[in-house]
Amino acid sequence: MNNEIKNKIVDMRDVTCGLVPGIVAQLDSTHARGVDFHIRTGIREEILSGFGSGGAWNIEIITDLGFDLLRFTRKKPSSLESLNIVEY
């Protein structure tokens, strides 16, 4: 039996305008532990600058055949979050 948890997959390869807000809306509306977005190739820098540190999500970009895969995985809650400490 396979115990691997599958990520939710959202195909956004055709989205050119409003990609970051669209991704944020998807992330806000899910309870999934991980979400994979299929995005068009060549926009890594724009995506990373749009999300900064990622907030409650770890961000990974994986090159795939014909598109890039933008993987968001929920960060585990930290005891430091309740202290409202800014990390540099």
Chain segment 57-69, per-residue pLDDT in tens: 999 999 988 999 9
Establish if 69 belongs to a structural domain.
yes
Establish if 84 belongs to a structural domain.
no
| Domain assignment of residue 15, given as a range | 8-76
- Please enumerate in sequence order all residues whose Cβ is within 8 A of that of 24, keeping only pairs 6 or more positions apart, or say none: none
Query: What CATH number does residue 12 fall under?
Result: 3.30.110.40
pLDDT band per the 50, 70, 90 thresholds, residue 56: confident
Q: Which of these, 80, 57, 81, lies nearest to 70 by C-alpha position?
A: 57
Tens digits of per-residue pLDDT, 1-51? Answer: 444 568 899 999 999 889 999 999 999 999 999 999 999 998 888 888 888
Establish if 88 belongs to a structural domain.
no
φ, ψ for residue 83 (rounded to 5)?
A: -85, -10
Tell me what pLDDT residue 79 has.
Answer: 60
